[in-house]
Amino acid sequence: MDSPLKDFGKGVTQESDLVEAIETKLASYSEASRNLLVSVFKNQLGDLSPKESTSLKALEEGAATVVTGHQLMVCGGTAFFEIKILSAVALAKEAARISGTNVVPVFWMATEDHDFEEIASFRVNGQRFTWQQEGIGGPVGRLATNRLAEQLEAFLITAKLTETQRSFLQRRLRHYKSEPTLAAATRAIVREWAADFGVLVLDGDDAQLKTLAQPLWNQEMQGTLAKKIQSTTADLEQRGYRAQVFPREINLFEIGDQKRERITAYKDLDAPSISPNALMRPVYQEWVLPNIAYVGGGGELAYWLQLGGVFDHLELPMPRLYLRDSVAAISYKTIETVSKLALSTEDVLSRSKEELVKTYIESKHSYATESVTLNSLLEAALESWANTLVHSYPELEVHAEAMKTQFEKTLTRSNKTRLRALKKREHIWTTRLETVMEAICPQGVFWERRSSYADLIGILNEDPKAALVDNMSTIKAGTYLIYPKK
């Protein structure tokens, strides 16, 4: 994590960070909390796969966790739903190797979220599916999935898909058909897809877990924790950082099957009726889990930085904040185009289109050198003119300087005009580059934030999840450009 933010949270920059996080968390996590958590997992998961059994046994015997979480996106939504899970698996695996302590990956389902529109759609091969549902009032995790299953089944009948994609989405459809709620279906989807990795899927909308967190709810109802959040947020803003989430006087909701209402004043509620907002959810999560690291995107990690004062007040270890890995999937034809451009994958991932074009033009046409040569002729003439003018008319010195400034701007416009002319001469190269950049950032949005995991499977004609886990960065987040073999 960058040094200006070190007072607000810690990242993972070296192996010892993970060892330290494990030691600190396990020293403070109680046996009673662990026993209750294991009981909750057993109740929620039911029959366990072999890898889940191994993970739960390790948790029962003292393992730590690495957590990621997400909204209950239909069919996963965009690809970073699955990428986050794989990134957490890779980090947990590496933390266990480094420390010699078992570390279990956990997926926390955001079942209590109420923003239906955000979770209702996904795209595949440019075709958009949107779940149409009326009367949404409560947590999305409690929604029945019968209408979703009907609509998705109809979509899959007419959608243009590869056989691999169709099989992938049909498996997800099966769970929407067989499970009663979106939470149950999403749990089943993740469990089936991540079966080889021992991921434990957790629903925080659980009476036992919320009762365990009763001390949090009590303090937040009284505004104690909110004041800590507000203080830390103000400190962040004073240092020039914008708060990711606006802190409330009470950062809790009251929930029921058909309601999720903001609590604005103290209210005597049973723990299961209380739901944390985006700022209190991480605190709740860390209260109930033996967690050492949270894997998330930049926006998610930003609001964790508002919570340092709460963790200090509660004497609760704050997890290491790990920026998840990113993935873009492109066709083999696109990677051949990258080769024709004489660029590397690192070039197209780390540099803007404008920068790459300018570098190419310079290498082929010596644009910068030519600019110096052409500009110097006029600059010398202008300087001579200004000196002669001022010598004869000293009172026009300000005028002479203004003319020089105006002419410099004219030269800048001329340079840009020449650059555009050179780009037109190299239109084949620039058009190819635009094709590549559009494949990586369709409509200006990075691939994984617009495309679905089904898109990735369609491009590769296989699910690369095992290979991704094996190759993902585990100290510093990486960005991966993947493509099919020829």
**Range 336-343 average pLDDT:** 94
pLDDT above 90 for 78: yes
The pLDDT of residue 3 is 53
**286-309 pLDDT tens trace:** 999 999 999 999 888 888 999 999
67, pLDDT greater than 70: yes
* Per-residue pLDDT reduced to its tens digit, 408-438: 898 889 888 988 888 888 899 999 999 999 9
Element (H, E) at 103: strand 103-109
Q: Clarify whether residues 371 and 252 are in a common domain.
A: no
Number of domains within the chain: 2
For residue 408, what are the domain limits?
331-447
Structure confidence by residue, pLDDT tens digits, 378-399:
888 888 999 999 999 899 999 9
* Same domain, yes or no: 235 and 344: no
367, pLDDT greater than 80: no
Identify whether 210 is part of a domain. Answer: yes
382 burial level (CB within 10 Å; 0-12, 13-18, 19+) = middle
If asked whether residues 212 and 357 sit together in one domain, one would say no
pLDDT given for residue 356 in this prediction: 93
The span from the CA of 400 to the CA of 100, in Å, is 74
pLDDT, averaged across the chain: 93
Residue 476: pLDDT over 80: no
> Confidence class of residue 168 from pLDDT cuts 50, 70 and 90?
very high
283 with 426, same domain: the answer is no
DSSP 18-77: HHHHHHHHHHHS-HHHHHHHHHHHHHHH-SPPHHHHHHHHHHHTT-EEEEEEE---GGGS
Cα–Cα distance measured from residue 423 to residue 187, given in angstroms and rounded to the nearest whole number: 51
Are 111 and 196 contained in the same domain? yes
Whether 473 is covered by a domain: the verdict is no
Q: Is residue 474's pLDDT more than 80?
A: no
Give domain status of residue 14, yes or no.
yes
183 shares a domain with 283: yes
Q: Is residue 460 part of a domain?
A: no
Q: What pLDDT does residue 299 have? A: 85
484: in domain: no
Instruction: Report, as an integer, the average pLDDT of 250-271.
Output: 92
408 Cα distance to chain centroid: 44
Any domain includes 255: yes
Using the 3D structure, point to which of 266, 291, 324 is the last residue of a domain.
Answer: 324
Residue 2 pLDDT greater than 60, yes or no: no
Residue 46 maps to a domain: yes
Residue 416 and residue 442 in one domain: yes
Q: Indicate the residue among 261, 291, 324 that finishes a domain.
A: 324
CATH number, residue 162? 3.40.50.620
3-state helix, strand, coil in the chain (%, to 5): 60, 10, 25
Q: Is there a single domain that holds both residue 380 and residue 311?
A: no
SS (H, E, C) 363-413: HHHCHHHHHHHHHHHHHHHHHHHHHHHHHHCHHHHHHHHHHHHHHHHHHHH
User: CA separation (Å) from 66 to 18, 86, 440?
Assistant: 10, 11, 29
Query: 126-156, pLDDT tens digit by residue?
Result: 999 999 998 788 899 999 999 999 999 999 9
Mark whether 374 and 354 lie in a shared domain: yes
Q: Are 166 and 274 in the same domain? A: yes
Query: Are 320 and 335 found together in one domain?
Result: no
Same domain, 287 and 314: yes
Instruction: Give the end of a domain, one of 302, 324, 346.
Output: 324
Among 86-90, 344-348, 448-452, 453-457, where is mean pLDDT lowest? 344-348
Whether residue 1 is predicted with pLDDT greater than 50 in this model: the reply is: no
As a residue count, the chain comes to: 486
pLDDT at 477: 76
Please report whether residue 199 resides in a domain: yes
Measured CA to CA in angstroms, residue 470 lies from 15, 172, 199, 462, 474 at distances of: 17, 25, 16, 16, 10
Can you read off the two tokens belonging to residue 34? 């662990």
pLDDT at 6 over 80: no
